[in-house]
């Protein structure tokens, strides 16, 4: 059980640095690991957040301020940055929830770091079969959100190479991947010059996509690990090294997919917190009780593995804490 009443986690222990003349605090001033932070202008709270890397998060804020007006307003209006190191991600999340609930920071609902997150969209009966989208408004099968579209592209490229399933990078079909034999050309199912017997079986593609993208333990990761071991044993170290990034990506994909399968049904209550449907609904903090009611989200069947963009970071922190506690 996590203890959230320790002195080192108190909001009163936050360190404050001047922001108007020092928008890039020296790294030695910033905590390493999880931290809660808040921007202020005088006594007014402007924005708060939690992060495993405060220096990187500040760099992202400054970069966005160069092109996005709300971020520019924040970094221009703030005169102080306050922060406190946290021993665990859950501590940082709780401090964030309590602070936002109590202070209503001016830019809290305007700045949305999750706005860059994306969903994987699958539909074996619609070109381009696999898509990376910013929403779940249509009738594709959605998975996510994911924090990086480049990560999803790398995973899709790997699975396409291994299984010869589509990963269409242009709007034209068929493309050169069919010519070089790296894809089975399922797009030809839409070619009116083909007879029904000649057209690729899209039902087979549907089964392949579901097995590759929706089943965490589909054996693909183990197959690549075995391939790498074979290269290593044959002293072909360069070829073995080329597979390292694919193995790492597929490990991360499997881990995130496991999270998406569990989080919506994750509910528990202990002395310090209550979790409902994967999200924090209550916490005890500094001898006070805080409640965070929210309306239940109605997900469609094709959103079974999709979360709201604004919920995913919180849900992931709670999931990680739960898994760690179960492992002892």
The pLDDT tens digits of the residues spanning 145-186 come to 999 999 999 999 999 989 999 988 777 777 777 777 778 888
Q: Indicate whether 265 pLDDT > 60.
A: yes
Instruction: Kindly report the pTM of this predicted structure.
Output: 0.90
State how far the Cα of 182 lies from the Cα of 26, in Å rounded to an integer. 49
DSSP 52: S
Q: Indicate whether 125 pLDDT > 90.
A: yes
Q: Rounded mean pLDDT of the chain?
A: 90
How confident is the model at residue 279, as a pLDDT? Answer: 97
Q: Which part of the chain has CATH 3.40.1440.10?
A: 7-115
Backbone angles phi, psi at 255, to 5 degrees: -60, -45
How confident is the model at residue 7, as a pLDDT? Answer: 39
**Positive or negative CA dihedral for 157, 161, 165, 170?**
positive
CB atoms within 10 A of CB 175: 17
How confident is the model at residue 26, as a pLDDT? Answer: 56
Contact 249/158 with Cβ under 8 angstroms?
Answer: yes
Backbone angles phi, psi at 144, to 5 degrees: 140, -160
- Side-chain half-sphere CA neighbours of 224 within 13 A: 21
CATH topology assigned to domain 7-115: GIY-YIG endonuclease (3.40.1440)
How confident is the model at residue 1, as a pLDDT? Answer: 35
DSSP 296: P
């Amino acid at each position: 059980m996590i203890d959230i009443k320790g002195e080192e986690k108190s909001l009163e222990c936050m360190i404050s640095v001047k922001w108007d003349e020092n928008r890039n605090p020296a790294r030695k001033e910033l905590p390493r690991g999880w931290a809660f932070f808040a921007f202020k202008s005088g006594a007014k709270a402007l924005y708060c957040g939690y992060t495993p890397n405060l220096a990187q998060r500040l760099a992202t804020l400054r970069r966005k301020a160069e092109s996005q007006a709300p971020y520019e307003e924040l970094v221009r209006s703030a005169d102080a940055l306050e922060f406190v190191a946290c021993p665990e991600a859950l501590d940082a999340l709780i401090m964030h929830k309590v602070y936002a609930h109590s202070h209503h920071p001016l830019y809290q609902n305007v700045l949305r770091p999750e706005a860059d997150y994306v969903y994987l969209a699958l539909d074996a009966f619609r070109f381009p079969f696999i898509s990376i989208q910013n929403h779940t408004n249509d009738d594709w099968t959605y998975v996510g959100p994911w924090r990086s579209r480049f990560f999803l592209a790398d995973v899709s490229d790997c699975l396409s190479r291994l299984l010869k399933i589509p990963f269409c990078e242009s709007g034209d079909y068929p493309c050169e991947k069919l010519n070089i034999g790296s894809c089975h050309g399922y797009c030809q199912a839409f070619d009116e010059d083909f007879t029904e017997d000649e057209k690729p079986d899209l039902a087979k593609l549907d089964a392949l996509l579901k097995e590759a993208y929706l089943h965490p333990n589909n054996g693909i990761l183990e197959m690549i690990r075995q391939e790498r071991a074979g290269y290593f044993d044959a002293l072909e170290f360069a070829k073995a090294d080329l597979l390292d990034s694919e193995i790492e990506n597929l490990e991360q994909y499997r881990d995130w997919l496991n999270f998406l399968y569990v989080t919506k049904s994750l509910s528990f209550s202990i002395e310090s917190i209550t979790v409902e449907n994967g999200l924090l609904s209550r916490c005890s903090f500094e001898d006070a009780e805080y409640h965070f009611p929210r309306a239940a989200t109605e997900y469609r069947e094709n959103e079974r593995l999709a979360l709201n963009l604004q919920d995913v970071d919180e849900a992931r922190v709670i999931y990680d804490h739960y898994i760690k506690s179960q492992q002892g």
